[in-house]
Chain A
């Protein structure tokens, strides 16, 4: 059974690119446009890995990660933070919150796929 990856980003083109890359490798992709939306998507289905942007309206990525870590059924789920080179501090903040993996934006689809495959296989 394909693994579900939740992609949380306010940019629909980022979601689309990540989605295309992951689907081509055999993952199933669920999209959410911000932290709040993403928390809703975590219920009612199993998500095996979360990819989250940092800077988003409604609920930012750091808050979202902290919320995920509070959920019994998701506290051990791997989370990849999407950071930018100008956001070293955000990366550290994300790691402290529990998102130990990261991909630096802008990324090539192959880079994203590599990061995901290190954590779970499709």
Chain B
């Protein structure tokens, strides 16, 4: 299973295992997005993500956007090197 979703009290814990890429985004989006509405807190565990590309980045952007608009508190509880590298690449502040 590439994605595990557990609901504890008012938190939804989501962990993604494996690729966060064009090959998996459709399935991940289908599993995850419908479960987001109504959860006051969303915990996202990305520590088991092995690979992340632009499509994965776009999915994270959508999750964040949806969380913001629904007033869900989003927190990332862990991220793998692959995720860190991808996020760093597309978020460089002027220095």
Contact = CB atoms under 8 A, between A and B. Distances in A.
Interface residues of A, number: 2
Interface residues of B, number: 3
B36 interface: no
A45 to B, nearest CB: 15
Contacts, number: 4
A37 to B, nearest CB: 24
A107 interface: no
Interface in B19-54: 21-23
Contacts of B21: 76
Contacts of B22: 76
Nearest to A72: B23
A31 to B, nearest CB: 24
Interface of B: 21-23
